[in-house]
């Protein structure tokens, strides 16, 4: 947080505590809803949050409400009178109302719906039907649309009349009588056109659309590729049912990146900011994978135990000393590849049809990287490790050779797993990263033991 905001927060606290509510309102009018929400969360307790919220200028109340975190939203709704709730809900965009509703318990949802207008209630219920990860779940039904025979002048007239409650007015949609999407027109085009021009003549007929059930991550990717401000969402019949705006796409991009990062680190993803998560929920998010990986490490223990006697004959202790280095390097090498591929899949750089190109490329990189690292390791064994350990030339050769093979193997596993996950319609980030470590550990250990026993 910057210092300027810190100073404003202190002024807010002062005005609120000394009940200088007129000054408080003046301060608030100059603030962003996001910053007001953060102030309420970090500086006020339950009761004061409600008192403070009631002081918000009317035009800010619903914007701030949308930005507040779920627990506090729930407390506020429970404390609101029906009239207050109705005012807030009426002022919210429909997609925001749906976001709020999705996080609320059933009795709160009922109250929200009861205090919505009948027609809003119908649209909210429709939006709630869409699956969590779909374009339908992040779209809003509040867009501007015209028929193709409208003139620019009357189009502007319509925007003036209805625009205040639309999520964006800058991209408008052209539909026929059955609500089929037939074109898109921007306010910029309309401003640059003659006022008597027909929308049909200035609209763009080829429109990139999303379908209601399309993965919202794919939809967000379209925004980053095509630089849109809004994207129309159509149903199976080609009818316009809503739009996704760029601010929602930005949120999806941030959330999906965070989610993938969490999955790659073997943490169950959470949408809550870190500091808002309880110790218990962090424990729940981290335990499952950690337990699973710990238990699957039984395999490495079994392998080491089963080779124990044979390794002892050929000087086990020296060999044991390099197990962490071998497994660690193989794990890192595999991780480099799997994470690179997972991200490339997520941002659309790599697709299923690239399978063989990717495998070939990774094989070449693996051979190059493996060779370089193995050669350096060979030198290190003879020059550095021989200072504190009794290392024969043969041992050095075995360790370096296994290192080379482990790296190549790890990189191949690292590129195959995410691609296979993608083919099986599983999430590459979940399947690939945590599993990879176990597979690579086991394989590199088997390589080490068998090759060491064969040669030494």
The rounded distance, in Å, linking the Cα atoms of 184 and 439 is 51
Q: Is 312 in the site for a copy of itself (CB under 8 A)?
A: yes
Q: Is 291 in the site for a copy of itself (CB under 8 A)?
A: yes
* C-beta separation of 421 from 427 below 8 A: yes
Shortest spacing between CB 420 and a copy of itself, in angstroms: 17
Q: Strand ranges (DSSP E) for 198-263?
A: 210-211, 230-234, 240-245
Q: Which of residues 164-193 bind a copy of itself (CB under 8 A)?
A: 164, 169-170, 187-188, 191-192
DSSP string covering 139-178, please? -BS---EE-TT-BHHHHHHHHHHHGGGSS-SSEEEEE-TT
The rounded distance, in Å, linking the Cα atoms of 146 and 32 is 32
Shortest spacing between CB 282 and a copy of itself, in angstroms: 5
Select the residue interacting with a copy of itself from 53, 80, 143, 289 (CB under 8 A): 289
Select the residue interacting with a copy of itself from 163, 238, 310, 427 (CB under 8 A): 163
Select the residue interacting with a copy of itself from 306, 393, 423, 455 (CB under 8 A): 306
- Is residue 2 classed as helix, strand or coil in its secondary structure? coil
The nearer residue to a copy of itself, 111 or 166, going by C-beta atoms, is: 166
The nearer residue to a copy of itself, 47 or 276, going by C-beta atoms, is: 276
Shortest spacing between CB 126 and a copy of itself, in angstroms: 24
Select the residue interacting with a copy of itself from 201, 239, 298, 423 (CB under 8 A): 298
Select the residue interacting with a copy of itself from 369, 413, 430, 452 (CB under 8 A): 369
* C-beta separation of 84 from 76 below 8 A: no
Considering only the stretches 77-85, 107-115, 250-258, 446-454, report the one whose residues sit in contact with a copy of itself under the rule CB under 8 A: 250-258
- CB-count exposure of residue 55 (10 Å: 0-12, 13-18, 19+): middle
Q: Is 323 in the site for a copy of itself (CB under 8 A)?
A: yes
Give the total residue count for the chain. 456
Q: Which of residues 253-282 bind a copy of itself (CB under 8 A)?
A: 253-254, 257-258, 260-262, 264-267, 273-275, 279-280, 282
Shortest spacing between CB 107 and a copy of itself, in angstroms: 30
Residue 20: CB partners within 8 Å, gap ≥ 6? 14
Q: Is 233 in the site for a copy of itself (CB under 8 A)?
A: no
The rounded distance, in Å, linking the Cα atoms of 35 and 334 is 42
For residue 348, the 8-state DSSP code is: T
- Is residue 277 classed as helix, strand or coil in its secondary structure? coil
Q: Which residue has the tokens 């008192």?
A: 51
211: β partners: 234
Considering only the stretches 45-53, 99-107, 110-118, 382-390, report the one whose residues sit in contact with a copy of itself under the rule CB under 8 A: 382-390
Instruction: Give the torsion through C-alpha atoms of 138, 344, 329, 383, to 10 deg.
Output: -140
Q: Is 449 in the site for a copy of itself (CB under 8 A)?
A: no
Q: Is 356 in the site for a copy of itself (CB under 8 A)?
A: no
DSSP string covering 75-86, please? HHHHHS-HHHHH
* C-beta separation of 239 from 180 below 8 A: yes
Q: Which residue has the tokens 């918000």?
A: 56
What is the torsional sign of CA 297, 302, 308, 314?
A: negative
CB atoms within 10 A of CB 446: 14
Q: Which of residues 332-351 bind a copy of itself (CB under 8 A)?
A: 332-333, 335-336, 339-341, 343-344, 347, 349-351
Residue 310: CB partners within 8 Å, gap ≥ 6? 449, 453
The nearer residue to a copy of itself, 86 or 380, going by C-beta atoms, is: 380
Q: Is 48 in the site for a copy of itself (CB under 8 A)?
A: no
Shortest spacing between CB 44 and a copy of itself, in angstroms: 18
* C-beta separation of 172 from 129 below 8 A: no
Select the residue interacting with a copy of itself from 361, 394, 423, 455 (CB under 8 A): 361
Shortest spacing between CB 237 and a copy of itself, in angstroms: 17
Q: Which of residues 204-223 bind a copy of itself (CB under 8 A)?
A: 205-206, 208, 223
Shortest spacing between CB 334 and a copy of itself, in angstroms: 10
Considering only the stretches 10-18, 72-80, 116-124, 287-295, report the one whose residues sit in contact with a copy of itself under the rule CB under 8 A: 287-295
The nearer residue to a copy of itself, 6 or 125, going by C-beta atoms, is: 6
Binding mask 17-46 for a copy of itself (x = CB under 8 A): ------------xxxx-x------------
- Radius of gyration of the chain measured on its C-alpha atoms: 30
How many residues make contact with a copy of itself (CB under 8 A)? Answer: 115
* C-beta separation of 144 from 203 below 8 A: no
Shortest spacing between CB 297 and a copy of itself, in angstroms: 4
Q: Which of residues 98-157 bind a copy of itself (CB under 8 A)?
A: 156
């Amino acid at each position: 947080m910057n210092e300027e905001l810190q100073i404003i927060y202190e002024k807010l606290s002062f005005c609120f505590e000394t009940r200088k509510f007129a000054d408080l309102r003046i301060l608030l009018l100059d603030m962003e809803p996001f910053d007001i929400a953060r102030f309420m969360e970090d500086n006020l307790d339950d009761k004061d949050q409600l008192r403070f919220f009631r002081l918000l200028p009317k035009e800010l109340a619903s914007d701030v409400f949308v930005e507040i975190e779920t627990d506090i939203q729930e407390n506020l709704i429970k404390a609101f009178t029906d009239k207050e709730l109705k005012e807030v809900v009426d002022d919210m965009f429909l997609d925001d109302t749906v976001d709020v509703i999705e996080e609320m318990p059933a009795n709160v949802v009922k109250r929200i719906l009861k205090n919505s207008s009948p027609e809003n209630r119908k649209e909210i219920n429709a939006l709630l039907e869409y699956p969590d990860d779909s374009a339908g779940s992040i779209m809003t039904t509040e867009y501007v649309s015209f028929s193709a025979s409208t003139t620019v002048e009357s189009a502007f007239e319509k925007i003036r009349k209805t625009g205040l409650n639309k999520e964006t007015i800058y991209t408008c949609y052209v539909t026929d009588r059955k609500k089929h999407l037939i074109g898109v027109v921007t306010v910029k085009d309309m401003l640059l056109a003659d006022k008597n021009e027909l929308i049909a003549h200035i609209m763009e007929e080829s429109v990139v659309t999303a379908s209601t059930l399309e993965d919202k991550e794919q939809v967000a990717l379209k925004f980053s590729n095509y630089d849109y401000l809004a994207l129309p969402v159509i149903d199976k019949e080609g009818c316009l049912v809503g739009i996704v705006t760029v601010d929602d796409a930005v949120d999806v991009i941030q959330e999906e990146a965070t989610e993938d990062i969490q999955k790659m680190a073997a943490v169950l993803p959470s949408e809550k900011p870190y500091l808002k998560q309880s110790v218990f929920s962090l424990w729940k998010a981290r335990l499952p994978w950690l337990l699973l990986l710990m238990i699957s490490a039984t395999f490495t223990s079994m392998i080491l135990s089963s080779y124990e006697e044979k390794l002892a004959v050929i000087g086990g202790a020296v060999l044991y000393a390099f197990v962490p280095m071998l497994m660690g390097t193989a794990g890192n090498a595999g991780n480099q590849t799997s994470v690179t591929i997972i991200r490339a899949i997520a941002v659309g750089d790599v697709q299923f049809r690239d399978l063989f190109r990717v495998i070939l490329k990774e094989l070449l990189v693996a051979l190059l990287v493996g060779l370089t690292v193995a050669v350096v390791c060979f030198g290190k064994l003879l020059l550095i490790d021989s200072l504190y350990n009794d290392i024969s030339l043969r041992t050095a050769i075995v360790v370096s050779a296994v290192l080379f093979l482990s790296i190549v193997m790890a990189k191949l596993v690292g590129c195959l797993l995410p691609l296979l996950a993608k083919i099986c319609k599983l999430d590459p980030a979940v399947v690939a990263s945590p599993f990879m470590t176990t597979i690579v550990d086991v394989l590199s250990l088997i390589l080490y033991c068998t090759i060491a026993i064969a040669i030494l």
